[in-house]
Chains A and B, each alone.
Chain A
């Protein structure tokens, strides 16, 4: 016997680690079908069992964080298991770490692989309606993940140009069929995820043979779609094709053209809606100022009535005074009586004249205010169809130019209500080119 050379000797740990690495490197994570045997759920929550097929069996562990959302399998149950093979180095045992497990009986018989993916996505809630995010009403920055050479892209560009030419499109090209397609789609989705301030991402391709659409049923592709930070619209193939990608996306479009129709509003319609809002804005203000005209007129009527009452009151009060004067003086001389009566008459006349003047001034003011508001209304109406610069001229700051005046108290407060005007109170009227001193004749 010859002793081995020191350099050729492996340590146990070295070999164990190396074997483990070799296994994990060569298998990664794979799906496995088998029957469950010797199942044990430990108090720790971890499951230990065997997957068996005929004479062959493999030891499995399913950690509690992986099995938390499901019930333990039955003994002998046939399952699909997503496993990571490796060496349990402390025991030197070959063991499968089970990430996910689904009973094959739960799955229809036809295309079991597709069903397995469906079950896996379903189980993780990726088809759930609660996950679906609404599309923004007015997107501006939109990514399209598709083949740069496909008809699908041209269709989407055509629709977008027609409907919403104010958009900014970011095309992230990728293969959409063949063996490399899933990886390229996932990479392209990753790029789209990094484009700043994207409103929506469209992912898809045009119609093709069933095998050509397979990349959009790929589990990893679907998971990448689910992880997008912005709403995703999926458009794969024709109306009759439904991919898992369609089901995971926030919105499913029947075709790429339809995706662009769903994402982009119609510029003509939106512009029209904005114009209508502008018209409503204006007519609401017109109605509002119309109410103001009515109020001014009503206030004017009340003012007139109040003045008439006051004149009558003064006349009533003056009459007896005149009479008393006449009586007192009448005793002295009859000619003085005539004088007194004339004096009384002059007094009443002067008062009436003054009241008349006041009335005239009130009417004049009222007419001016009314004319100003009507002028304003006419202007507003004239602007209904043109927005542009004339809108700026309607600024409250420039309202004075249109004939409005702002009454302010001596302290500078704006006077808004009748009760804020006291008889004989001084105030100022701010008109377009400055202030006018004013006094309350009557309140």
Chain B
């Protein structure tokens, strides 16, 4: 029921910081390229997370023994 991936918010925050550093700091070429490379990775992961999909909707119910189970929402 759980899938843990680095949050979109984190990726975008880091990406924003990378862009600001590249824009603002006088970095040597190696550092700039390394930052750029990291930014490209975050950009790609952000876009993967944003790839439009069908909304997932499920109903959560509690069994008699107290276990949670999910089932498709009818209607």
Enumerate chain A interface residues (CB-CB to B < 8 A): 136-138, 140, 143, 148-149, 157, 160-161, 165-173, 187, 191-192, 194-197, 267, 270-271, 273-274, 277-278, 280-281, 284-285, 287-289, 292, 387, 391-392, 394-396, 399, 414, 416
Tally of chain B residues near chain A (CB < 8 A): 47
| Of the residues A137, A171, A274, A281, contact of B57 by C-beta under 8 Å | A171
Closest to B23 in A: A284
A138 with B34, Cβ < 8 A, contacts A143-B60, A197-B2, A284-B23 known: no
Q: Which of B30-62 contact A (CB under 8 A)?
A: 30, 32-34, 36-37, 39-40, 43-44, 46-47, 49-62
Closest to A143 in B: B60
| Of the residues B2, B28, B36, contact of A281 by C-beta under 8 Å | B36
Closest to B66 in A: A194
Closest to B70 in A: A170
| Of the residues B1, B32, B43, contact of A274 by C-beta under 8 Å | B43
13 additional A-B pairs beyond A171-B73, A277-B43, beta carbons within 8 Å, are A137-B9, A166-B49, A166-B51, A169-B55, A171-B59, A191-B60, A191-B61, A196-B2, A277-B19, A281-B22, A288-B27, A392-B40, A416-B30
B46-A274 in contact (CB<8A): yes
A171 with B44, Cβ < 8 A, contacts A194-B68, A196-B1, A281-B39 known: no
- In Å, the complex CA distance between A387 and B41 comes to 11
A-B contact pairs, 24 of them (CB 8 A): A138-B9, A140-B7, A165-B54, A166-B51, A167-B55, A169-B56, A171-B58, A197-B3, A274-B46, A274-B50, A277-B19, A278-B43, A280-B19, A280-B23, A281-B36, A281-B40, A284-B22, A292-B29, A387-B43, A394-B36, A394-B37, A395-B40, A399-B33, A416-B28
A288-B29 in contact (CB<8A): yes
A277 with B34, Cβ < 8 A, contacts A194-B68, A284-B22, A387-B47 known: no
Which chain A positions have C-beta within 8 A of B51? 166
Which chain B positions have C-beta within 8 A of A173? 59, 61
| Of the residues A137, A166, A391, contact of B50 by C-beta under 8 Å | A166
- In Å, the complex CA distance between A195 and B62 comes to 11
Closest to A154 in B: B75
A195-B50 in contact (CB<8A): no
B37-A396 in contact (CB<8A): yes
- In Å, the complex CA distance between A387 and B46 comes to 12
Which chain A positions have C-beta within 8 A of B1? 195-196
Which chain A positions have C-beta within 8 A of B57? 157, 169, 171
- In Å, the complex CA distance between A195 and B3 comes to 12
Closest to A281 in B: B39
Closest to B5 in A: A140
Would you give the shortest CB distance from B5 to chain A, in whole angstroms? 9
- In Å, the complex CA distance between A172 and B18 comes to 40
B54-A170 in contact (CB<8A): no
Would you give the shortest CB distance from B12 to chain A, in whole angstroms? 7
A167 with B47, Cβ < 8 A, contacts A396-B34, A399-B33 known: no
A197-B4 in contact (CB<8A): yes
B37-A395 in contact (CB<8A): yes
| Of the residues A168, A196, A292, A394, contact of B40 by C-beta under 8 Å | A394
Closest to A396 in B: B33
Closest to B46 in A: A274
**Among B43, B51, B61, which residue has the most Cβ atoms of chain A within 10 A?**
B43
- In Å, the complex CA distance between A169 and B37 comes to 34
- In Å, the complex CA distance between A431 and B53 comes to 44
Which chain A positions have C-beta within 8 A of B60? 143, 170-172, 191-192, 195
